[in-house]
Amino acid sequence: MQADARASRKRTAEQLQEQLGTLDTYLAEVEATDRKEDTHYGENADADTLPQRLRSAKRRRQMLAQALDKLQHDQAAQRSHGKTTIRKDVIPTDPDAVWVKKQGRIIPGYNAHAAVDDTCGMVVAVKPTACPEEREQLNPMVRQVQLTAGAPAQTALADNGYYTDEAIIHAEDGQAAHQLNRRASPQPPDPYHCDHFRYDAVADEFTCPQGRKLVVEKKHRRRGLPTTVYRGVDCAACPVRNQCSSDRCGHRTIEVHREYVIIRRAHDRLRSDEGQKLYKKRKEIVEPVFGQWQHNCGVRRLRLRGLNGCDIELHLLAIGHNAKKFWRRGVKFSRN
């Protein structure tokens, strides 16, 4: 959702500091002039209010200082969490807004998340985020649905932007949803892709399409995630080792998340005929809601600023959407 802010107004930390320095110099000169006039004419010689130009300068200085604090705080938080992408600029009129992608354009705004019931089309959860990505929002939305409905979702369908291995693992551990589906390609055509290897959870080993074993070689962390490396023990005599492995010695290795069983189960569930049939319903359930808000209601740009303002507008849209659903179903409300 596009913020009530102009992209051309973006400022870096250096630009904000330069503008603050200019305003400080101007305000210092005004203060010096005021003290000089007090010396000549007395402190109470003129009881007029503060000039409009000076009030505007002070308000602008406060706005720029808040924007600089927000930018520096976000940058420090991103560095502390090991983020590779660090925020570079901010729009002083709406410092909460971030750069989001919409219909091929990059605009200042917010990501609006919504969960919709598939039977009646009611919006059961909404959440705005000042983050260009959705990857960390799957489980918060699933939990929000549970809070609203009083029970966990029987099936949660989310597009590929919400998928991470950790999200699947946490959701299944917490039993927040019975099924979690994401967009996935069909079974890989490469006959020696790791998805074609059978995994034995009891023995903790893989078996390749040629019937040869891959056992645990080491456990470590890659990009912050706990992974396990499996290595083939008798690949030297395999007739297809050159097709299966690019290793100089011909040994095949597979590196997977340590909770591979949970992740593989989710992938297999989606690749099944039932999973594919379910996933096709996702766009029919939630996309019409955003289409009605933006095209039918004309809400293409936020009226309120800040993340809280986006939250208010998003909830008002959801309330209006649900009220229309109630009205069409003939539900009547009493004043009590």
26 and 68 fall within a common domain? yes
Between CA 280 and CA 157 the distance in angstroms is 9
124 and 169 fall within a common domain? yes
101 dihedral zone (left: phi>0; alpha: psi -120 to 50; beta): beta
pLDDT given at position 50: 62
163 and 217 fall within a common domain? no
Q: Summarize pLDDT for 227-265 with one digit per residue, the tens.
A: 889 998 888 888 888 888 887 777 898 888 877 777 777
170 and 316 fall within a common domain? yes
250 and 294 fall within a common domain? no
Mean pLDDT on 183-209? 78
pLDDT given at position 178: 39
pLDDT given at position 179: 44
The token duo for 306 is 């800040």
Is 283 in a helix, a strand, or coil? helix
198 and 178 fall within a common domain? no
pLDDT at residue 174 tops 70: no
- Does a structural domain hold residue 299? yes
127 and 253 fall within a common domain? no
- Does a structural domain hold residue 122? yes
Count the alpha carbons within 13 Å of 29 in the hemisphere toward its beta carbon.
7
pLDDT given at position 47: 46
CA 235, 239, 243, 246: dihedral to nearest 10 degrees?
A: 40
Mean pLDDT on 97-109? 90
- Does a structural domain hold residue 253? yes
203 and 176 fall within a common domain? no
Write out the residue range of the structural domain in which residue 122 sits. Answer: 110-183+278-328
- Does a structural domain hold residue 2? no
172 and 283 fall within a common domain? yes
Between CA 71 and CA 16 the distance in angstroms is 10
- Residue 95's H or E segment, with its range, is none
CA geometry: angle 65, 53, 36, nearest 5 deg: 95
- Does a structural domain hold residue 104? no
Between CA 270 and CA 158 the distance in angstroms is 11
Q: 165-189 burial string, b = 16+ CB within 10 Å, else e?
A: bbbbbbbbeeebbebbbbebeeeee
CA 195 to chain CA centroid, nearest Å: 28
- Does a structural domain hold residue 188? no
The larger pLDDT score, comparing residue 146 to residue 45, is at: 146
- Does a structural domain hold residue 150? yes
pLDDT given at position 184: 47
207 and 60 fall within a common domain? no
Side chain identity at residue 118, one-letter code: D
Overall number of domains in the chain: 3
- Considering only 28-42, 91-105, 251-265, which range has the smallest mean pLDDT? 28-42
Helices (H), the chain: 13-41, 52-80, 138-149, 165-174, 241-244, 260-271, 273-279, 282-291, 306-328
122 and 16 fall within a common domain? no
The token duo for 123 is 């919006």
Side chain identity at residue 74, one-letter code: D
- Does a structural domain hold residue 32? yes
156 and 283 fall within a common domain? yes
pLDDT at residue 4 tops 90: yes
CA distances to 115, 188, 213, 243 from 207, rounded to whole Å, are: 40, 17, 5, 16
pLDDT at residue 308 tops 80: yes
Between CA 134 and CA 181 the distance in angstroms is 15
